[in-house]
Chain A
Amino acid sequence: MKVSLFSTCLSDILFADVAKNTLEILERVGCEVDYPMEQTCCGQPAYNSGYLQEAKQSMKQMMKAFKHSEYVVGPSGSCVGMLKEYPKIFADDPEWAEEAKRFAAKCYEITEFLVDVMGVTDVGSTFKGKVTFHSSCHMKRILGVKEQPKMLLRNVKGVELVDLPMEEDCCGFGGTFSVKNPVISQEMVSEKSRHVAETEAEYLVGADMGCLMNIGGRMRREGKNVKVVHITEILNTH
């Protein structure tokens, strides 16, 4: 199967390992993976801040970059969730409406793609440790991907998965919210950090680097010793 990797700008620039792991997992399950160099950002920072015109510029860039891809797969429920909104955003734009629909239909978050498209729930990896999982808001509520990451995690040899209290609650990142409403954001992430600590897990696992860098950054500031890892790292450890 031919797949185009959507690295997300965050993983491309800050967390290259996440994109590398995603690429390697896809190859391991038998996909032929390319990486369109014209890709940039899904447009969410502008879109969620109310800058529709600005957001549309990056969205068009993305649609161009992946025009010839069969599947577009990325390691972020939030960014992929944004791609899935394109049809709504371009509904009244005769030039882009059709392309937006075509594009959104071929976009998948990595765990969703593995489970729903490839039919893989065990990637054959081994990772030793007690882990807890934070399910990201956009991934579960906008994309509707809830069970897939946990199915995959449960099948990793050596992983002990423990429940995170109030797992469904937002970590307080919210993109520009974290800097526009820093006081509230800090309270939210501190609460999340407390819940993570309560589990006594060694690792906090998530499927979105946005949330993970928020929670991880906070826990490090508080001197907590929990390691933060993207799910692809666990799925790509043998």
Chain B
Amino acid sequence: MSIKLGEVPYKDRVQTGIEDDFMRQAVSSAQGRFRNGRLTQAAELGNWEDWRELGSEIRTHTLQNLDYYLQQLSDNVARRGGHVFFAETAEEANQYVKNIIKKKQAKKVVKAKSMVTEEIGLNKALEEVGAEVVESDLGEWILQLDEDPPSHIVTPALHKNRQQIRETFAKKKGYTGSDTPEEMAAFAREQLRQDFLAADVGVTGCNFAIAESGAVTLVTNEGNAEMVTSLPDTVISVMGMERIVPTWEEMEVLVGLLTRAAVGQKLTSYITAITGARLEGEIDGPEEFHLVVVDNGRSKILGTEFQSALHCIRCAACINACPVYRHIGGHAYNSIYPGPIGAVITPLLEGYDDHKELPYASTLCAACTEACPVKIPLHEHLIRHRQIIVEQEKKAPTAEKLMMKGFAKWSSSPGIYNLSAKMAKPALGPWTKDGMIENGPGPLKDWTDARDFYAPQGQSFRAWFKQRQKDGETS
């Protein structure tokens, strides 16, 4: 897989999402749960806005000094016996991991949940060299069995309900149990245990790499990352180059924000830290540890007005708060990064050609911006994208351009504006019945397809006001 999921056009994707009642039900109830969780946690903490501010400052500082911290991280990983590879592109990253797999003659690779490996399409690359790749996060495992892409960055199988998961297990793994979460999870654990024991290589993502100590930390609720990093002899962590913090102290702040914002937990069940390879005299840790730092378009964002998009800690609070996402689901975005953050970063990483609709898939209600624990102005970034699409990419429809030219003329010339205020009522007269328009002409049609339009009530306010002043003068 890569960032883009497929070739289905935007309109069809939206339609498919809207018609999928199961998915919408699942998404809507999960959103409600996560959202309430976040709000409860924020209220309990008391000074949530101060924490957000602190989170934002940490991310801003780190990204402004990214070179420095990456160098520090790299030195410290090497000091602890690990190998660091900076990959400029997805291909370079995949090639590096493939080389390790080949050298190790690895047959089986177990993975902990990682968005960046989805982004670069690592699984497919590894299968090309004959390795069997097993996802060990429950959600990812379900999707892998079903050959379905993730629809959410924290709970990737959010769009599936229990019955659908049961069916997948039955079809692909001969499961015969019930559809209770406990029984299905126990089944998955049983199946995955075999894979953990047989795996030659473990692959993880990275929530926060600690520059000062060279540790890679993973935040999970299932503890599967523990297994992925402790059982295989070789462990490879893949991280987006922005997934870094200066010290453990900042990490603690960000993990607190992450788990609260993501699912409304004070703390996650597991935080796994990989502190390099097993050095002489140490009793645990992998024999070999590799850290792959992926750029894949990120450095292009640095120094631009979009830089704060790299502050993202992948908590999905913006996705959980988004009403557009609720109705169309994750797949409609056609990106492994869906929702508001997806609409912001997908065009940045992969260009506008395939993703030009995403910045418009928002009412700019700013629920995302309000939810974001590190205060990324997501809706403002969406407007910025629109400006680029209009002014630089020249991808806006001609009719819209003409309308906006007209708008500018109208709103900057009081004379023309006055005239339109006077003419609006008579002009709409033929379509008006009982003060309403049910079947509007021209640009009103898209509106009246779904709802009635209010015709002007009477004379314009300004006409009334002029009259009032006149009456006042004469009386």
Using a CB–CB cutoff of 8 Å, the interface residues on chain A facing chain B are: 7, 9, 11-17, 19-20, 23, 35, 37-41, 43, 45-55, 57-58, 60-61, 65, 137-138, 141-142, 168-170, 172-189, 191, 213-214, 216-218, 220-221
Q: Let me know if A174 and B447 touch, CB within 8 A.
A: no
- When distances are taken between beta carbons in the complex, the residues of chain A under 8 Å from B362 are 174, 177
24 contacts between A and B (CB under 8 A): A16-B458, A19-B461, A23-B465, A37-B418, A46-B407, A50-B383, A50-B389, A50-B396, A57-B412, A58-B408, A65-B414, A138-B365, A169-B367, A173-B363, A174-B363, A176-B400, A179-B443, A179-B446, A182-B446, A185-B363, A187-B18, A217-B447, A218-B451, A221-B452
Chain A, Cβ-Cβ closest to B389: A50
Question: Complex formed: what's the CA distance from A176 to B362 in Å?
Answer: 10
Q: State which of A17, A41, A173, A218 has its C-beta within 8 Å of the C-beta of B411.
A: A41
Which B353-408 residues have C-beta < 8 A from chain A?
360-367, 369-370, 383, 385-391, 396, 400, 404-405, 407-408
Question: Complex formed: what's the CA distance from A205 to B146 in Å?
Answer: 47
Chain A, Cβ-Cβ closest to B408: A54
- When distances are taken between beta carbons in the complex, the residues of chain A under 8 Å from B161 are none
Q: State which of A15, A54, A65, A183 has its C-beta within 8 Å of the C-beta of B407.
A: A54
- When distances are taken between beta carbons in the complex, the residues of chain A under 8 Å from B411 are 9, 40-41, 43, 46, 57-58, 61
Question: Complex formed: what's the CA distance from A238 to B423 in Å?
Answer: 33
Q: Let me know if B363 and A182 touch, CB within 8 A.
A: no
Q: Let me know if A7 and B323 touch, CB within 8 A.
A: no
- When distances are taken between beta carbons in the complex, the residues of chain A under 8 Å from B11 are 183
**B175 in the interface, Cβ–Cβ < 8 Å?**
no
Q: Let me know if A221 and B450 touch, CB within 8 A.
A: yes
CB proximity of A73 to chain B, nearest CB, Å? 14
Question: Complex formed: what's the CA distance from A214 to B453 in Å?
Answer: 8
Q: State which of A9, A14, A47, A48 has its C-beta within 8 Å of the C-beta of B454.
A: A14
**B459 in the interface, Cβ–Cβ < 8 Å?**
yes
Question: Complex formed: what's the CA distance from A102 to B407 in Å?
Answer: 25
Counting chain A CB atoms within 10 Å of each CB, the highest count among B365, B389, B414 belongs to: B365
Question: Complex formed: what's the CA distance from A16 to B435 in Å?
Answer: 13
Question: Complex formed: what's the CA distance from A178 to B420 in Å?
Answer: 22
CB proximity of B26 to chain A, nearest CB, Å? 16
**B187 in the interface, Cβ–Cβ < 8 Å?**
no
Question: Complex formed: what's the CA distance from A168 to B466 in Å?
Answer: 38
CB proximity of A122 to chain B, nearest CB, Å? 26
Question: Complex formed: what's the CA distance from A5 to B364 in Å?
Answer: 26
Q: Given A58-B408, A172-B323, are A177 and B363 neighbors across the interface (CB < 8 Å)?
A: yes
- When distances are taken between beta carbons in the complex, the residues of chain B under 8 Å from A170 are 323, 363, 365, 367
Chain B, Cβ-Cβ closest to A177: B363
**B297 in the interface, Cβ–Cβ < 8 Å?**
no
Q: Let me know if B365 and A58 touch, CB within 8 A.
A: no
Q: Given A50-B391, A54-B408, are A7 and B400 neighbors across the interface (CB < 8 Å)?
A: no
Q: Let me know if B386 and A50 touch, CB within 8 A.
A: yes
**B59 in the interface, Cβ–Cβ < 8 Å?**
no
Beyond A137-B363, A137-B365, 14 additional contacts (C-beta under 8 Å) are A12-B462, A13-B456, A13-B460, A16-B458, A40-B417, A48-B364, A51-B407, A61-B411, A141-B366, A142-B366, A170-B363, A182-B449, A186-B451, A217-B454
Question: Complex formed: what's the CA distance from A15 to B391 in Å?
Answer: 33
Question: Complex formed: what's the CA distance from A13 to B418 in Å?
Answer: 9
Q: Let me know if B14 and A184 touch, CB within 8 A.
A: yes
Counting chain A CB atoms within 10 Å of each CB, the highest count among B408, B409, B411, B438 belongs to: B411
Chain B, Cβ-Cβ closest to A55: B408
Q: Let me know if B447 and A178 touch, CB within 8 A.
A: yes
Q: Let me know if A50 and B363 touch, CB within 8 A.
A: no
